[in-house]
Amino acid sequence: MTDISSEISHNWASSNARSRISRRYRRDRWLRNTGVGAIVVAMGLLGILLTSLAFTGYVAFTTTKVKLEVFLDPAKVDRNEPGKASYRNLVREAFLANFPELKKRKNKREAIKILSSGAQYILRDKVMDEPELVGQTISVLLPLSDPFDQLYKGVVPRRINALARNRIASFESLKQRGLISVENGSSYLSLAIVVGPAILKNPKRGPLKKIMRRAFAELFSGETGRVNYKILSRDAVKILQARIRKDVNFAGDKLQVKLPISPIYDALNRTGKAEKLNPRFKSEKVLDLFDALVTRGMIASPFSWELFVNSDSRFPELAGLAGAFSGSLLALLVCFLISFPVGISAAVYLEEFAPKNKFSDFIEVNINNLAAVPSVVFGLLGLAVFIGFLGMPRSVPLVGGLVLALMTLPTIIVSTRAALKSVPPSIREAALGVGASKHEVVLHHVLPLAMPGILTGTIIGLAQALGETAPLLLIGMNAFIPSIENVGLLDPATALPTQIFTWGDSPERGFVSRTSAAILVLIGFLVTMNLLAIYLRQKFETKW
């Protein structure tokens, strides 16, 4: 044997060696810091997402309500048939009793819009639950309609900007040129107008208006964009006409006039703000009535159980997730009952029994590809096969669950095979060694040991299925479900993600926060499932 160290020596102290060592450490640090950076970026993005959802959604966890004293007049409500009474009128009278000053029908009609349209049904349900209340004066909390709910929560303002930024800019440019003046509390624009003698004799409004607009447009001759004629008041032509008539004798061809400007720009000039009533509200008067209710302490904003107990509604203040929740749960149940046993059986066959040949390779490739197929394709498949070919009803959780099961199957098969593979071969040998047959090896030893991995994969697959929207939309599982009385595998239903989709598409302001809140609930659901997966894995994992 030859002694290596005598032939080749390595000088650890040389500068080359030193720099090599420090380079290696630098790379170690670089690798570590890259990882830390990646995690920080990922956590930051997640944080931004959750924060924005929480900021938008938190208001949906309360509902603004008004406390009303309702007299359940036995003459109007039959104790034996409490469902038949006109609760609309009862609520109306109780509400308007707070405003005896309202006399006109129109004003009353506007005032009652402060209340949610669903208020009467809440009262009805309460009385139907407790018919013995008839004859008493009860105090009920009834929800407000969406604009007032949102106003109370500070989501929508009372007044909004009336002017776009470029319009304000055009006005400001006039002001800077000293063309705007204030006289007797209103603002005027100085305009130089050239008037021909023919018009001087007979100042008709039509031609005058043309001349005035031309003169006005010249003020902006150097600028691009449309001329903002709306700065001039509608009365400007009339004033100009009067001025010309009064000044018939004016000799020069250039007339310097001061023309009134429209009220909104007048307000902008004098107060620096140009605002108008938020068009969600019918009139200032209604807002005053609402303010009166607030000052009387009749408005409260308690926790919104409605969000969880109610089903969907056209009115955001009444809309809840119960329907979507039950739909999702049923679809997941079907999905689990199909994909779990089928997935495990398939994985056990492929892993434990199937011969290793081209055909089993082909199956394996196909399963892996199946996991990568876009979910919308599974939706189309479900639509074509389950609804089209097999004639199953539309929009029902059974079909939804079947489609989700198709989607979840590859995930479960792949994770189950991985879990089976990770069972140490020594356990199989031990079982075979005492004479266990194939099914005993699998059922007594391998499957129980693989179970934590299988459960984790299954739960992650189900969590994916829970958040899946596209396939459910395709089979129509976004039905409008206003009550959860008919909940079954063959009843039309909606699911959490499709409910979010529907709400996100709705124009009412209240659905914006409702959507965020629903997303938060869905995320909460997913987190719970993943925690369950972690718990199960840790509980059943065998330590070696």
Pairing of strands 186-194, 180-183: antiparallel
Interface region with other proteins, contact rule CB under 8 A, candidates 154-162, 233-241, 429-437, 492-500: 429-437
* Segment 132 to 151, residues that bind other proteins, using CB under 8 A: none
Among 264, 432, 470, 526, binds other proteins (CB under 8 A): 432
Interface region with other proteins, contact rule CB under 8 A, candidates 4-12, 170-178, 373-381, 423-431: 423-431
436 in contact with other proteins (CB under 8 A):
yes
427 in contact with other proteins (CB under 8 A):
yes
Looking at beta carbons only, is 103 or 356 nearer to other proteins? 356
DSSP string, 50-102: HHHHHHHHGGGGB--EEEEEEE--TTTS-SS-GGGS-HHHHHHHHHHTT-TT-
206 in contact with other proteins (CB under 8 A):
no
Among 433, 485, 507, 538, binds other proteins (CB under 8 A): 433
449 in contact with other proteins (CB under 8 A):
yes
Looking at beta carbons only, is 430 or 490 nearer to other proteins? 430
Using the structure block, give the residue that is written with the tokens 């903002």: 228
Looking at beta carbons only, is 111 or 441 nearer to other proteins? 441
383-386 — which CB contacts under 8 Å span 24+ positions?
383/474, 383/475, 386/475
For 67, 69, 72, 233, 279, the CA distances from 138, given in Å and listed in that order, are 10, 6, 7, 54, 35
Q: End-to-end CA distance of the chain, in Å? A: 42
Minimum CB separation of residue 424 from other proteins in Å reads: 8
| Contact predicate 91/120, CB 8 Å | yes
* Segment 345 to 364, residues that bind other proteins, using CB under 8 A: 355-356
**Region of residue 184 (phi > 0: left; psi between -120 and 50: alpha; otherwise: beta):** left
Looking at beta carbons only, is 261 or 423 nearer to other proteins? 423
- Tell me the C-alpha distance between 159 and 144, whole Å: 19
Interface region with other proteins, contact rule CB under 8 A, candidates 95-103, 339-347, 444-452, 517-525: 444-452
DSSP string, 166-180: HHHHHHHHHHHTT-E
Minimum CB separation of residue 65 from other proteins in Å reads: 58
Looking at beta carbons only, is 293 or 446 nearer to other proteins? 446
Residue 422, token pair as written in the block = 């990770």
431 in contact with other proteins (CB under 8 A):
yes
Among 34, 437, 483, 486, binds other proteins (CB under 8 A): 437
Closest C-alpha to 490, from 330, 379, 382, 332: 330
537 in contact with other proteins (CB under 8 A):
no
Residues that bind other proteins (CB under 8 A): 355-356, 424, 426-437, 440, 444-445, 449, 542-544
